[in-house]
Every structure is written in structure tokens, then in C-alpha cells.
Amino acid sequence: MKKHNFSAGPSILPQEVFQKASEAILNFNDSGLSLLEISHRSKDFVAVMDEARAIVKRLMNLGDDYEVLYLQGGASLQFLMVPYNLLSVDGKAAYTNTGTWAAGAIKEAKMIGNVDVVATSKEANYSYIPKEFKVGSEYDYFHCTSNNTIFGTQMKEFPKVDTLLVCDMSSDIFSRELDFSQFDLIYAGAQKNMGPAGATLVVVKKSILGKTGRTIPTYLDYAVHIDKESMSNTPPVFAVYASYLTLKHLEDNGGIAAAEARNNAKAKLLYDEIDSNPNFQGVSAIEDRSFMNVTFTLTDESKQEAFDAAWKAAGISGLNGHRSVGGYRASIYNAMPIESVQVLVDVMKSI
């Protein structure tokens, strides 16, 4: 039986993507060869890479001043690549600390240069998004995390800053319409909302590069990857192909606008149950609630055994909260059908 998979990442993808990706492993484009055994420089794979990059620009409505890259190393390597490429030798960067991943980004940036944490919600176990801060032109860039996967908070608006705007969108990329042109650099590990683990998306405005006065190691240099069209070394061909299929599926099903409408309906269904059912309570500030990772707890711990047994029996998997928060976390990424959310809500009503 196919499970209702609420895992935070790697996570659910459209069933059709699993199907097509499996076919390509056995026989890619009717070539008689597996996707896994052909050269990444073959005509068929170069076409995949080109289209995977083009589709991102179409979905985000971005022009030729932006470049799209598929790299490796996950969002975690971007924690390092961003300061290497944007933080000048004697400059400083501004960061908000809104969760475990933001803290990880800050830690890496501090290895490269000067970092100011301009706002944090750490004192409240990251249960809200801090909003009262200013970032001036004395900073080389400002870095934020759009969705805090572990704690279940999400930035609903992005601050106007007098410097470059950089965002880790790993866990809510392509989930809602945004003016993507307000960002100078966006990155995301693919495995939350746009593909399998192994590929990392970077969208960068070309004109911001080459200004730090640093010597950048080859793999860490965005300019190298731009120049080589994401083929500076062997790309993760399977992960890029499955990401391409995922984004194509999104585009063919109404694009980001339609995904956002579905995501809003799913989030409303689940949060309404959390708010109206006396057995449950939300974890994060209501105005900052994530529409991707819904965190909640039981009001009465003695019901835990019954609830855990009930959701497992209903075919639900991946509902346990992260160890730093406890309770439960339902990740309802783009590919999660509302029917599966309804199954969870029915279980919540039943205990």
C-alpha cells in the first residue's frame, strides 16, 4: 500500500515523476541505454540540463540577468559558497537566525568573514519570525531563510534591504508566488520540494559576482559554473533529471499559482483542525505559520500512544517532529495531495 508520506525531506514527489524517472533508469529516451550510463555531455542529457535550467526561469518569471545552476553539496555547501562569492575581504554580512538551518548558514559564513546577526528568535525556540530590524548599505548582503523546516515558521514578506538579498528557499521553493526578482541569489537543496537529494538549485543575478577581491576555489566559484553551464564537473544526472520532471509536472499543472492555491487549501484544512480540536495545539506564532511544515503537539500527553497507533494504522508515515521541537510535524509539500491531509485530519478527529 502506498503511504501518506508527511516526511520533511527527502520527501514526497509526484507519482508520475517516480514513474518516469524509473523508466529513464532502464531506457532513457528510447536510446536503449540507461540515464545512469550515458555521458553527461551527450546531446540527450545536455538537453535535459538546458531545459531544467530554463524551466526555473520561466516558473520564476526571471530574465536574462539571472543564471540558473544545478550544483552538488546540498544547501549546506551554499552556506559556504554564498560568503565565498559575496562577502568581500574587509566587508561584513547580515543574517537573521530563525532556526537550525539559518544557524548553520551563519556558522559557515563566520569562517569566511565578518557576520552580524541582525535578528533572532532563538530565545523562543525559533517559534516566530523576527521582523523589526534594518539592514543598511554597510553590509555586502543580507541572508534569510524563507521557511524554517524544523520549527514550522515561514517568512510571509521579505524585508526591503539596502544591500543584496540572499535567501535559502530549500523547503518552500516553488510553493507560492513571489516577486523573485527582489532576490539577488536564491538557493535550495532539491529534496524538499523540487526533486531528489543530490541536486542543489542556485539562481543568481550575474552582475553581483566578482566583487569580493577573493580567490575562490574552483568548485566554489559561481562564475565557473555559469561559464560551464552547470557542467564544470560531472553533474548528478539522475537528480537533475528527476528535478526537471518535477518542475515540468508543476508547469504542466498550472505553475506556481495553482500550486499555491492547493497549498493554501491543504494548510487551512490542517491548521483549522489543530485550532479547533482541543487535543492539539500549534507550535509557532499564528501569523508566521509555515504552509509547508506544520508543527503541532498533543495537549494531553497521555493520548500519545493512541494517536501514534491511529496515524500509523491509517498508512501515514513521517509525522514525528524533529528532535529539537518534539511533537509532530506534517510536511505538506507541493506533491502532497489534499486527500492525504484529509486522512490525517480524520485521524486527529478520531482520538
297 is in an annotated binding site: no
Catalytic (active site) residue 64: no
Taking CB under 6 A as the criterion, the residue among 7, 76, 277, 342 binding ligand PLP is 76
- Among candidate residues 334, 82, 35, the one with its CA nearest the CA of residue 208: 82
**What is residue 147's DSSP assignment?**
E
- Nine-digit cell string for 183: 532576490
Should residue 126 be labelled a site residue for ligand PLP when binding is judged by CB under 6 A? no
Residue tagged 515523476 (cell numbers): 17
What residues are paired with 41 via a beta bridge?
A: none
Q: Stretches 12-20, 38-46, 48-56, 69-77: which one binds ligand PLP (CB under 6 A)?
A: 69-77
Catalytic (active site) residue 192: yes
58 is in an annotated binding site: no
Should residue 198 be labelled a site residue for ligand PLP when binding is judged by CB under 6 A? no
Residue tagged 494531553 (cell numbers): 300
Catalytic (active site) residue 311: no
CB of 9 to ligand PLP, least distance (A): 5
101 is in an annotated binding site: yes
User: What string of DSSP letters covers 213-268?
Assistant: -----GGG-HHHHHHTTT-SS---HHHHHHHHHHHHHHHHTTHHHHHHHHHHHHHH
- Nine-digit cell string for 102: 539559518
191 is in an annotated binding site: yes
Nearer to ligand PLP, 189 or 327 (CB): 189
329 is in an annotated binding site: no
Q: Stretches 38-46, 70-78, 107-115, 218-226: which one binds ligand PLP (CB under 6 A)?
A: 70-78
- Among candidate residues 99, 229, 119, the one with its CA nearest the CA of residue 168: 99
List CB contacts of 176: < 8 A, sequence separation 6 or more: 256, 259, 260, 263, 291
List CB contacts of 43: < 8 A, sequence separation 6 or more: none
**What is residue 211's DSSP assignment?**
-
Q: Are 196 and 239 in contact (CB under 8 A)?
A: yes
Taking CB under 6 A as the criterion, the residue among 189, 196, 198, 327 binding ligand PLP is 189
Q: Which residue among the candidates 140, 172, 184, 192 is catalytic per the annotation?
A: 192
Taking CB under 6 A as the criterion, the residue among 6, 70, 95, 101 binding ligand PLP is 101
Should residue 11 be labelled a site residue for ligand PLP when binding is judged by CB under 6 A? no
Q: Stretches 68-76, 153-161, 212-220, 242-250: which one binds ligand PLP (CB under 6 A)?
A: 68-76
Should residue 74 be labelled a site residue for ligand PLP when binding is judged by CB under 6 A? yes
Should residue 113 be labelled a site residue for ligand PLP when binding is judged by CB under 6 A? no
**Max CA-CA distance within the chain?**
61
207 is in an annotated binding site: no
Residue list for the binding site: 41, 75-76, 101, 149, 168, 191, 233-234
Residues at the site binding ligand PLP, with contacts judged by CB under 6 A: 9, 74-76, 101, 145, 149, 168, 170-171, 189, 192
